[in-house]
Amino acid sequence: MGKPLRWPLGVPAANLVGRQVVGVRRRGKYLLLDLDQGLLLLHLGMSGSLNFAPTQPEPGVHDHMDLVTDRGVLRLHDPRRFGAVVWAASEDSPPAQKLLGRLGVEPLSAQFDVIAFAQALKKRKSAIKQVLLAGNEVVGVGNIYASEALFMAGIRPTTPAARLSKPRVARLHVAIVQVLNRALAQGGSSLKDFVSAEGRTGYFQLEAAVYGRAGEPCRRCAAPIKSMLQGQRTTFYCPTCQKP
């Protein structure tokens, strides 16, 4: 196997031999494999990918984990080694809570309540784009989807979250849900090497209103789309349609 990932497994690998995978779920960007004793938390970092096959070829330098089951082998491939595989005794144990404890609500769940969302944003002085990317209030709204949701809601990415009125928060709440549902329908976004578990690329980026379109005319008002850096991430917005 390749070099160690950014965090240790947390238990000798031999202790996992014979364990049974009883469930698979997701929390934010973490994939949770529930075992008959404990659970594994997997994160793909920036460049990681998982491949499940009946058998796998000899591991390369960028292959960091083989989870061998009676149905096949799950392999983690991660050239940059920003990914992680961590064992925890339970979701409430310190190792799991260190990774999951500060995550916000899932945006496509019933827990994503507009009133609670507005109350949480009132406590945040940072720019709304940065608040969305942080994942403390709502998870899953990455750089592309934050730019698109803010455009749909007519909100400038630099607007302090605490300054947003309840009607503007309500529009943003709706926009986040709509953008993520559209992205799911399109198979996600493929800018470099993302493919689905079936090997297909995503197509959402092809219909983006602002993301990746700096200098091009806004699809709504024809003003040139602008870009800027926010927290080392590129933000795209329409200076006419999105108000501070």
- pLDDT for 203 beyond 60: no
Looking at the domain assignment, is residue 218 inside a domain? yes
Measured in whole angstroms, how far is the alpha carbon of residue 195 from the centre of its chain? 15
In this prediction the pTM is 0.83
Q: If you average pLDDT over every residue of the chain, what do you get? A: 90
Is residue 155 within 8 A of residue 168, CB to CB? The reply is: yes
Looking at the domain assignment, is residue 242 inside a domain? no
Looking at the domain assignment, is residue 23 inside a domain? yes
Q: How many domains does the chain have?
A: 2
Looking at the domain assignment, is residue 74 inside a domain? yes
* Residue finishing a domain among 100, 122, 146: 100
Residues 35 and 122 in one domain: no
Residues 36 and 93 in one domain: yes
Domain range for residue 28? 13-100
Q: For residues 49-60, give the mean pLDDT.
A: 92
**For residue range 177-191, what is the model confidence (pLDDT) as tens digits?**
999 998 888 765 544
Looking at the domain assignment, is residue 107 inside a domain? no
- In the prediction, which pLDDT does 204 show? 56
* Residue finishing a domain among 69, 100, 131: 100
- In the prediction, which pLDDT does 184 show? 85
Share of the chain above pLDDT 90, in %: 77
Residues 160 and 222 in one domain: yes
Residues 82 and 167 in one domain: no
Residue 5 or 221, more confident: 221
* Residue finishing a domain among 67, 100, 133: 100
- What are the DSSP calls for 73-128, one per residue? EEEEE-SS---EEEEESSTTSHHHHHHHTT--B-TTSTT--HHHHHHHHTT--SBH
Looking at the domain assignment, is residue 1 inside a domain? no
What are all long-range contacts of 233-240, with beta carbons under 8 Å and residues at least 24 apart?
233/133, 233/143, 234/143, 235/129, 235/143, 235/147, 235/157, 236/147, 236/210, 236/211, 236/212, 237/147, 237/150, 237/151, 237/156, 237/157, 237/210, 238/151, 238/210
Residues 137 and 229 in one domain: yes
- In the prediction, which pLDDT does 4 show? 74
